[in-house]
Amino acid sequence: MSQVEEYVKSRRKKTLEELKEILRIPSVSTLESHRKEMLRCAQLVARRMKETGLQSRILRTDRHPAVYGERIAGSGSPTVLVYGHYDVQPPDPLGLWRHDPFEPTEEEGLLYARGASDDKGQFFALLKGIEAFLNTREGPRVSVKVIVEGEEEIGSPSLRALIRQERALLSADVVVVADGSQFARDLPAITYGLKGLVFIEATVRGPSKDLHSGAYGGTVANPANVLARMLAACQGPFGRVAIPGFYDDVRSLEAWEREEFAKLPFREEEYREEIGVPKLFGEEGFTTIERKWARPTFDLNGLSSGFSGEGAKTVLPAEARAKISMRLVPDQDPSKIVRLVTDFLRSVAPDTVRVDCLTHHASKPVLLSRDGAHVRAAVRAFARAFGREPVFVREGGSIPVVNAFQEELGLESLLLGIGLPDDDAHAPNEKIRIEDVYRGAVLMGAFLEGLEA
Ligand code: BES
Ligand code: MN
Ligand code: MN
C-alpha cells in the first residue's frame, strides 16, 4: 500500500465526520433566503482547506462567495487547479426523503444527504487526496490550487468574471473536476463531453386576472390552453425538436464514437427498470447512450397555471408558465438557440395573448481531449485507486464553468467521476457510496504523485 493510501485509510472516520459537517449546511444557491447559509458553508470549506494544508481565503462575488486555497511548490513545478461546488439543489420534494436531507445519515455503506454526491462528497474527496499528498512528503513538487464555488447549480453567473479577474491567481496547467460519476459501480470513467444548456421560462399572459371559466369561457383565449399548443408545436414524435434550424449545427456522431459507446457494458433493461418507466423513449436511429450523450433535447422542467390543488376549481387562469431546458451538443451555439426558440414561441402564439421569454441559462457544449500527459496520469491514478482503468464517456449534464476555464485561461479540464450514476443527484435521497469518497481521495493523491514523477 502506498503512503497516500495508508494516509487516507487511517483517517477514514475523521474524513467522514468532516464531510458530514459540510453536508449539514443547507447551501441551496437558488434560494435568496439561504444567503447566510451559503456564507457559512463557504467559511467552513475555507477552514477545511486550511486543515488540508492550503492557504485559503474567500473570494467575494456579486452573489455567493467562492473559496480559494493553494499550496505553491518550487518554481517550475506543474500546477493543478481543482474545481468543485459547495452549493446544492433544493431538497424538494421534502416528503420523499427517508431522512432529513441536511442530517447526513449512514446506511449500508451509503451516506444520504443533499449534496452527498453533487458535489460536496466529490470535491471533499479531492481535498482529502490533496491532504494525503501534502502530508506524505517533505517537499511536494506539484503546486495545488483549489477553487470551490457557490453558484454552479444556478449556472455560475459570477464565475467567468471572477476567473478573468483572478487570472494570475488561477493560472495552472490543468483543471481537475470531480462533478460527474463513474460509468457504473466499480467502473470509473473520464468524461470527455458535456452538453450545453439553454434554460428558458416562457410566460403566456391573457386576462388581467383569473376569470370564472363558465362566465368568460369561450370568449377569451385561455393562456394555459394556448401554452399547451405552443409547447406541443416545439416537438415532433420521439422527442425530435420541431423548431426550424434547431439541428443545423449538430455535429454527427462518428463511426468510431458509436462503436466505443456500443462497447460499454450498458444494460438497457436495467436502466429502464431503475427509472421505472414502462418503456424507454427517444429519437429514432439512435441508441439510448447516443441519445443521452450526443443528441440535443427539449424538456419541460416545470409547468404552472390555474388551480392545481386538491379537488376541482373552475377557473380560467390569467397566465401560464413553462420552464424549458434544452441540452445542446457540439456545435450548437446557445445564443443562436435562444433566438430560434424565442422567435418560434412568439411565432406560434396567437395575438389573443402576450408572450414573455426569460433566459435563465445559456452555456456551450464541451468536448475535451482524450489523450495527453494529464489524461494518461489520470488513467494511472484511477487504476491505482479503483483497481481498474477508466472508460471514456460523455454526459448529458452541464458544468458551465468548464467553458470559462477553456476560454478565459486556455485550460483543459479533466472530469473524473467518483460518484455513481444512481446517486440520485438533484433528487430525493441523494447519496454517495462512502467507499467512493475514500477511493476518490486516493485517486487525487495518486494523480498528484504521478505528476511529480
Ligand atoms: N454535476 C452536475 C453536472 C453533471 C450531471 C455532470 C450529470 C455529469 C453528469 C452539475 O452540478 C449540474 O447539475 N449542472 C447543472 C447546470 C445548470 C444548473 C446550469 C445541470 O446540468 O443541470
Ligand atoms: Mn455538480
Ligand atoms: Mn448539480
- How far is residue 66's CA from residue 167's CA, in Å, rounded to a whole number? 15
Q: 206 alpha carbon to ligand 2 midpoint, in Å?
A: 38
Give the ligand whose atoms come closest to the C-alpha of residue 180. 1
Q: Which of 153, 154, 402 to mutate to test the pocket of ligand 1 (most atoms within 8 A of CB)?
A: 153
Q: 243 alpha carbon to ligand 2 midpoint, in Å?
A: 29
- Residue whose Cα lies nearest atom 19 of ligand 1: it is 155
How far separated are the first and last CA of the chain, in Å rounded? Answer: 18
- Residue whose Cα lies nearest atom 8 of ligand 1: it is 180
- How far is residue 335's CA from residue 325's CA, in Å, rounded to a whole number? 14
- How far is residue 328's CA from residue 387's CA, in Å, rounded to a whole number? 34
| Radius of gyration from C-alpha coordinates of the chain | 23
3-state SS, 311-323, equals CCCCCECCEEEEE
The minimum-distance atom of ligand 1 relative to the CA of 363 is: 19
- How far is residue 143's CA from residue 126's CA, in Å, rounded to a whole number? 15
Q: Over 90: is that where the pLDDT of 104 sits? A: yes
Q: Which residues line ligand 1 (CB under 6 A)?
A: 118-119, 152-153, 155, 179-180, 197, 361, 395, 397-400
Q: 85 alpha carbon to ligand 3 midpoint, in Å?
A: 9
Q: Over 80: is that where the pLDDT of 453 sits? A: no
Each residue's pLDDT tens digit, 243-254 = 999 999 999 999
**Mean predicted confidence (pLDDT) in 76-91:** 97
**Mean predicted confidence (pLDDT) in 336-362:** 97
- Residue whose Cα lies nearest atom 7 of ligand 1: it is 397
CB 193 within 8 A of CB 394: yes
**Residue 42: what pLDDT?**
98
Size (the chain), residues? 453
Q: Over 80: is that where the pLDDT of 1 sits? A: no
The minimum-distance atom of ligand 1 relative to the CA of 153 is: 18
Burial of 109 (0-12, 13-18, 19+ CB in 10 A): exposed
Q: Which of 63, 89, 152, 198 to mutate to test the pocket of ligand 1 (most atoms within 8 A of CB)?
A: 152
Instruction: Write down the pTM of the prediction.
Output: 0.95
Q: Over 90: is that where the pLDDT of 299 sits? A: yes
Question: What b/e string do you get for 190-217 counting C-beta neighbours within 10 Å, with b at 16 or more?
Answer: bbbbbbbbbbbebbbbbbeebbebeeee
**Mean predicted confidence (pLDDT) in 7-21:** 98
CB 113 within 8 A of CB 105: yes
CA 229, 235, 240 angle in degrees (round to 5)? 170
**Which residues are placed with Cβ below 5 angstroms of ligand 2, an ion?**
118-119, 179
**Residue 270: what pLDDT?**
95
CB 246 within 8 A of CB 333: no
Each residue's pLDDT tens digit, 370-403 = 999 999 999 999 999 999 999 999 999 999 999 9
Cβ atoms within 10 Å of 173's Cβ, excluding its own: 16
Strands 66-71 and 143-149, how do they pair?
A: antiparallel
Distance of CA 220 to the CA centre of its chain: 42
- How far is residue 95's CA from residue 232's CA, in Å, rounded to a whole number? 31
Q: Over 90: is that where the pLDDT of 80 sits? A: yes
**Mean predicted confidence (pLDDT) in 359-374:** 96
- Residue whose Cα lies nearest atom 4 of ligand 1: it is 397
| pLDDT interval class at 437 (50, 70, 90) | very high
- Kindly list the distances between the CA atom of residue 77 and the CA atoms of 73, 74, 132, 137, 411, in Å, as whole numbers in the listed order: 6, 6, 18, 15, 17
Long-range contacts of 266-275 (CB under 8 A, 24+ apart): 274/422
**CA max distance for the chain:** 82
CB neighbours of 344 closer than 8 A, spacing ≥ 6?
A: 233, 234, 243, 244
Fill in the DSSP letter of residue 28.
B
- How far is residue 324's CA from residue 322's CA, in Å, rounded to a whole number? 6
**Residue 345: what pLDDT?**
98
Each residue's pLDDT tens digit, 170-219 = 999 999 999 999 999 999 999 999 999 999 999 999 999 999 999 999 99
Q: Which of 179, 201, 293, 402 to mutate to test the pocket of ligand 1 (most atoms within 8 A of CB)?
A: 179
